[in-house]
Amino acid sequence: MNGFGWAGFGVNLGWAAVAAFAVMLGTFAVAVRLGVHRVVDVAWGLAFAAVAVASCVASAGGGDPVRRCLVAGLTVVWGLRLAVHIARRGAGHGEDPRYERMLARARGSRNLYALRVVYLVQGALVWLVSLPVQAAPYVSGPVTASAWAGTALVTVGVAFEAVGDAQLARFKADPAHRGQVMDRGLWRYTRHPNYFGDFCVWWGLYLLVCDSGAAAALTVVSPLVMSGLLIWGSGKRLLERHLADRPGYAEYAARTSGFFPWPPR
């Protein structure tokens, strides 16, 4: 097992928090000006990219430079792709129904309520989930097979997300498909190729920390939390509740894997 720079990582935790909350608070200011809080979804990927850059800069001269560049580059590519995709998808639309329902519970200022329950919570989640991104730059010693396997898994995850999102966008752009359920391409093998891709990304980034046993034990909470959110939290479960009444969705769900890709039944 390789060594780990605990002192530098401890300082990095603070810089990562600054980066994550700076993105979220800046996005909150933009959302208040626009009157639409759905822009916080764009900030999710940007905040992870900001944490990755901050961690790479703060760890200069620390751990292995190849690992530092790998984890920063992979995270930035994933975060920027996701942010651009969500920004394009939401362009020209009003408030997201999810946030409308949430803000309807506000007592007093809707903006301050959104700040507390959306922006600050998401900033804290970014900080927690990004622990492997923060820790990997402080792992000393050369990159080993586990780190290269993690790099490959992240690459698969980003590709899965990008291809799945592109296939869905083309499907929805065709007026002939209005009201139909997407069951082609990657969507034939899993009902949630984008969430499965996310799952691969975060377990892949975690593998970049596994050359240090102590750091791996500390940061495993991050992919576990992200997996829980994707499968049982605000990802798969919430989306399927929204889609449950769509014509044909029950039949699609009966023949298609709920998360991990598998040939249709």
Query: Tokens standing for 23?
Result: 């993105």
**pLDDT value of position 1:** 63
Res 184: pLDDT: 94
Structure confidence at residue 122 (pLDDT): 96
**pLDDT for res 238:** 82
1 within domain boundaries = no
pLDDT of residue 222: 97
pLDDT per position as a tens digit, 153-178: 999 999 999 999 999 999 999 999 88
Q: Examine residue 206 and state whether it is found in any structural domain, yes or no.
A: yes
In a domain, 244, yes or no: yes
Whole-model pTM: value is 0.94
Q: Is 208 inside any structural domain?
A: yes
pLDDT of residue 108: 84
Q: Is residue 182 part of a domain?
A: yes
With a cut of 70, list the residues of the chain below it in pLDDT. 1
Domain count, the chain: 1
Question: Which pairs count as long-range contacts for 177-182, CB under 8 Å and 24+ apart, including other chains?
Answer: 179/246, 179/247, 180/248, 181/246, 181/247, 181/248, 181/249, 181/252
Any domain includes 193: yes
What pLDDT sits at residue 245?
Answer: 85
Residue 150 belongs to a domain: yes
Domain that residue 199 falls in = 6-255
| Any domain includes 22 | yes
Query: Which pLDDT score, from 0 to 100, does residue 20 have?
Result: 98
